[in-house]
Amino acid sequence: MKRAFPILAVVTALLLSFALYEALIGAPTERSMGDVQRIFYYHVPSAWTAFLLFFINFAASITYLINRRPAADILALTTAEVGVVFLTVNLVTGPIWARPVWGIWWTWDWRLTSTLVMWLIYVSYLLLRRFSSGGEAPVLAAALAILGALCVPFVYFSIWFFRTQHPSPVIGGGGSLDPRMSHALLINWLAFLCLAWLVCWTRYSLEVVQRQVEEAQSLESLLEGSR
């Protein structure tokens, strides 16, 4: 596994470089919005990556509630942390695109508001994990993660169910996308997935080591107290 890590790191770096080229140069310029539309190649893949990570967090949280295995808890924590980072990218790039296109940075429509609520839920999840030292904190966090996971399909399908200022989906929603734009979009998503995998791998390993150190310190304290 240790040998695979540098290979994944190199592949990720190459994919990110190629994806940047495709987003800025390879993809054609959109007629009505111009170059600002190129944010699309980061805005959408960051959301898709966050959704996938939150789904893994949901599955890991359910698994932890069933069997209380530390590995499932660590996976849930790791995917939540990295997922929040990618969702933050989505929330930041959205207003950057909206300002020149809509003339405003933000509007409280269903898609934007539900995405913000989902982000707040997962930030609350991380705060609970960070500042709660009780033994039931992972259980409470797992329950909160299940609530957050319910927001994912609502956010995704909100532009189908409600009237919203957010653009209609160009994939699977009756829209159309230039094949070169689709290529750039998918390449960027693949690069984001590899980056997420790399970061989750690193964060998971660090969390395992940290818990091992904490267990060793606790055992040492018990041994010293019994002397």
Give a yes or no: residue 170 inside a domain.
Answer: no
pLDDT 10s digits, 48-73: 999 999 999 999 999 999 998 999 99
Residue 169 clears pLDDT 70, i.e. is over it: no
Helix (H, G, I), strand (E, B) or coil at 136: coil
Residue 168 lies in a domain: no
Within a domain: residue 32?
no
Give residue 219's pLDDT. 77
pLDDT at 46: 97
Half-sphere exposure at residue 58, Cβ-oriented, CA atoms within 13 angstroms: 14
pLDDT at 189 over 80: yes
Q: What share of the chain is helix, strand, coil (3-state, %, to 5)?
A: 80, 0, 20
Q: What pLDDT is attached to residue 194?
A: 96
Is 131 a member of any domain? yes
Examine residue 87 and state whether it is found in any structural domain, yes or no. yes
- Count: domains in the chain: 1
Is the model's pLDDT at 204 over the cut of 80?
yes
Mean pLDDT, to the nearest integer, of 141-152?
90
Residue entry with tokens 């609970």: 128
Q: Please write down the HEC assignment for all residues of 84-99.
A: HHHHHHHHHHHHHHHH
Least confident of 31-35, 48-52, 202-206: 31-35
Q: Exposed (0-12), middle (13-18) or buried (19+): which is 169, by Cβ within 10 Å?
A: middle
| Domain assignment present for 153 | yes
Q: What is the mean pLDDT of residues 130-154?
A: 85
Look at residue 49 and tell me if it is in a domain. Answer: yes
Inside any domain, residue 101: yes
Is 1 a residue whose pLDDT tops 80? no
- Give the residue numbers spanning the domain of 187: 4-27+37-163+175-226
